[in-house]
């Protein structure tokens, strides 16, 4: 803080100089060190009005914060332009119109994965001193891989500032997120779920996202694609139900025809004064008689030949 005092004094039009002698005298004790810098509260500010100095300190702090925010804003604008020129496969992203430090993204589930056909909405929250510090990463749509609405522990998130590289862009972050989603390695914020459940969530993700106002306002093209997909699903389901009903009717018709045929045969037997059992016995007697007649003929022929 001491190094800011001459600059603040120059800005306000007077000299600000701490009285180190008085401060050291008041700072004597077991832990006193003649080389230590006394707290600002122990410094005597030689100025007409100390309240103006406090205002100056606040102003300097605000200017520093604004400088960091402006740097982050400029960097994010550049990243946005690059992202539009060279999109990340399976991912689209847009910043909030009211706050460029908050971005929302949509991951389209890659083919041959349990997430195929799904749309997964999430957000990136960048610090004012980006790109020197990493963003927070959140997933909003239930997906079966990450918890929703909690900070995700990834090597590209604010959970690991020690591994963060300021050269990484928004595109790098989104690519890394997609890679982590396709993997199965556990991490803080990840969940274990069977692939069948992840496929179910992929199907349900479209309806879920359409209920999110921020999603619908930032991604109108994706919304139209999702609505068209839902219409096609409804038509396909309706067509499948119609085919199943027709097959059911055919089976019913065949069954009725078979029953009618059987009933007709039984009616004919009843008309002839025979029950089904009597008809069976009659047929059996006829069959046995034919067999015996054949045997007799064969015997006679054999005897004649002898």
161 and 146 housed in the same domain: yes
Residue 74 falls inside a structural domain: yes
51 and 90 housed in the same domain: no
109 and 215 housed in the same domain: yes
The domain in which residue 126 lies consists of 86-220
Residue 261 falls inside a structural domain: no
CATH number, position 122: 3.10.110.10
36 and 151 housed in the same domain: no
Q: What is the count of structural domains for the chain?
A: 2
CA distance 208 to 223: 11
DSSP string over the chain: -GGGHHHHHHHHTS-----HHHHHHHT-STT--TTSPPPGGGS---SS-HHHHHHHHHHHHHHHHHHHHHHHHHHHHHHHHHHHHSPPTTEEEEEETTEEEEEEEEEEPPTTSTTTT-EEEEEEE--TTTTSSPPEEEE-S--SSB-SSS----TTSTT-GGG--TT--HHHHHHHHHHHHH-----TTB----HHHHHHHHHHHHHHHHT-HHHHHH-HHHHHHHHHHHHHHHHHHHHHHHHHHHHHHHHHHHHHHHHHHHHHHHHHHHHTT--HHHHHHHHHHHHHHHHHHHHHHHHHHHHHH-
Residue 295 falls inside a structural domain: no
134 and 216 housed in the same domain: yes
109 and 69 housed in the same domain: no
113 and 200 housed in the same domain: yes
CA distance 44 to 21: 10
Residue 304 falls inside a structural domain: no
74 and 166 housed in the same domain: no
115 and 34 housed in the same domain: no
139 and 201 housed in the same domain: yes
Last residue of a domain, one of 27, 56, 79: 79
**Residue 217 structure tokens:** 């306002």
Predicted local distance difference test score (pLDDT) of residue 43? 47
Residue 32 falls inside a structural domain: yes
39 and 98 housed in the same domain: no
**Cross-strand partners of 138:** 123
Residue 281 falls inside a structural domain: no
Last residue of a domain, one of 49, 79, 109: 79
Residue 237 falls inside a structural domain: no
Residue 55 falls inside a structural domain: yes
Predicted local distance difference test score (pLDDT) of residue 295? 78
Predicted local distance difference test score (pLDDT) of residue 26? 46
Last residue of a domain, one of 79, 105, 136: 79
Q: Which of 223, 226, 209 is nearest to 123 (CA)?
A: 209
Burial class (CB within 10 angstroms; exposed 0-12, middle 13-18, buried 19+) of 107: buried
Phi-psi map region of 13: left, alpha, beta (phi>0 left; psi -120 to 50 alpha)? left
CA distance 246 to 242: 6
Q: What is the pLDDT along the chain (306 residues), one digit of tens a residue?
A: 555 555 555 544 555 555 544 444 444 444 544 444 444 444 444 555 555 555 554 555 555 555 557 899 999 999 999 999 999 999 999 999 999 999 999 999 999 999 999 999 999 999 999 999 999 999 999 999 999 999 999 999 999 999 999 999 999 999 999 999 999 888 888 999 999 999 999 999 999 999 999 999 999 999 999 999 999 999 998 887 766 666 666 666 666 555 655 555 555 545 555 566 777 777 777 878 877 777 777 777 777 765
Predicted local distance difference test score (pLDDT) of residue 105? 99
91 and 74 housed in the same domain: no
Name the residues annotated as catalytic.
153
Predicted local distance difference test score (pLDDT) of residue 69? 72
């Amino acid at each position: 803080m001491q190094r800011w005092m001459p600059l603040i004094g120059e800005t306000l039009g007077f000299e600000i100089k701490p009285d180190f002698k008085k401060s050291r005298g008041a700072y004597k004790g077991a832990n006193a060190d003649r080389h230590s810098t006394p707290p600002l509260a122990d410094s005597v500010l030689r100025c007409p009005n100390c309240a103006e100095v406090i205002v100056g300190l606040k102003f300097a702090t605000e200017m520093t914060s604004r400088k960091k925010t402006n740097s982050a804003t400029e960097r994010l604008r550049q990243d946005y332009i690059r992202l539009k020129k060279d999109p990340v496969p399976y991912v689209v992203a847009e910043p909030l119109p009211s706050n460029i430090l908050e971005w929302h993204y949509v991951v389209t589930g890659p083919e041959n994965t349990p997430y195929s056909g799904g749309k997964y909405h999430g957000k990136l929250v960048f610090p004012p001193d980006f790109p020197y510090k990493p963003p927070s990463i959140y997933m909003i749509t239930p997906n079966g891989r990450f918890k929703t609405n909690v900070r995700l522990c990834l090597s590209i998130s604010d959970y690991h500032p020690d591994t963060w590289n300021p050269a990484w862009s928004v595109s790098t972050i989104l690519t890394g997120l997609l890679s982590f989603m396709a993997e199965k390695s556990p991490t803080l914020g990840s969940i274990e779920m069977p692939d069948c459940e992840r496929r179910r969530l992929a199907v349900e993700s479209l309806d879920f996202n359409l209920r999110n106002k921020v999603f619908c306002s930032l991604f109108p093209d994706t919304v139209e694609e999702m609505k068209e997909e839902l219409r096609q699903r409804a038509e396909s389901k309706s067509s499948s139900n119609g085919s199943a009903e027709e097959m059911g009717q055919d089976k019913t018709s065949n069954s009725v025809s078979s029953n009618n045929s059987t009933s007709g045969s039984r009616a004919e037997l009843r008309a002839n004064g025979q029950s089904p059992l009597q008809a069976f016995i009659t047929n059996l007697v006829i069959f046995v008689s034919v067999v015996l007649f054949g045997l007799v003929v064969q015997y006679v022929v054999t005897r004649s030949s002898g």
